[in-house]
Amino acid sequence: MRDLRSAPLPPFCADDHARGPADGVELIEYGDFECPFCAALSLRLHRRDGLLHVFRHFPVRSSHPRAWPAACAAEAAALQGRFWDMHDALFADQGRLEDPHLWQRARDLGLDVQRFDSDRRSEAVRTRVQDDFRGGVRAGVVTTPTLFARGHMQAGRIDDRALDSL
């Protein structure tokens, strides 16, 4: 993991997607559902105890054209209370991010698929993903994954030794 610079932690927001203990080490991740490094990191973060993991969208459309629709799918699932389930499902199978696969994931999660499809194409969902992305740019994010924890920003391939230092 490369420590790019000291950086204030972007403020935690009430509508952030967070999992883990409220008193855990707060870690904000800017990620892209088509980024293989984000998928590998996500699995490792989920296994760590004592971590309050916040996920924000940073779809890098220039290199990951399916990342934006995947981010919108996760937000649509969030509207039905299943953000983290969709998050995990998207990272578990990054090779299938097209509409039929997104609809199947929604069905598998027990979502109302018609509502899911309508929500993921809505202005509110597009705005949410765009706001996360813009917030990342303001915070200095240029690549995925990028983590903010304990006053430092880390970016790129993040190994277990670097995570142990959190």
Residue-range domain boundaries for the chain: 2-164
pTM metric for this prediction = 0.90
Burial of 19-28, coded b for 16+ CB within 10 Å and e otherwise, reads: ebeeebebbb
What kind of fold does domain 2-164 have according to CATH? Glutaredoxin (3.40.30)
Cα angle: 1, vertex 31, 117; to 5 degrees: 165
Check residue 10 and give its pLDDT: 67
**What pLDDT is recorded for position 154?**
86
Distant-in-sequence contacts of 126-132, Cβ < 8 A, 24+ apart: 126/72, 128/57, 128/75, 129/57, 129/59, 129/68, 129/71, 129/72, 129/75, 132/30, 132/56, 132/57, 132/58, 132/71
Per-residue pLDDT tens digits of the chain, which is 166 residues long: 344 445 555 677 888 999 999 898 889 999 999 999 999 998 888 888 888 999 999 999 888 999 999 999 999 999 999 999 999 999 999 999 999 999 999 999 999 999 999 999 999 999 999 999 999 998 999 999 999 888 788 888 888 777 776 6
pLDDT at 1: 38
31: Cα separation from own chain's centroid: 4
| pLDDT at residue number 2 | 41
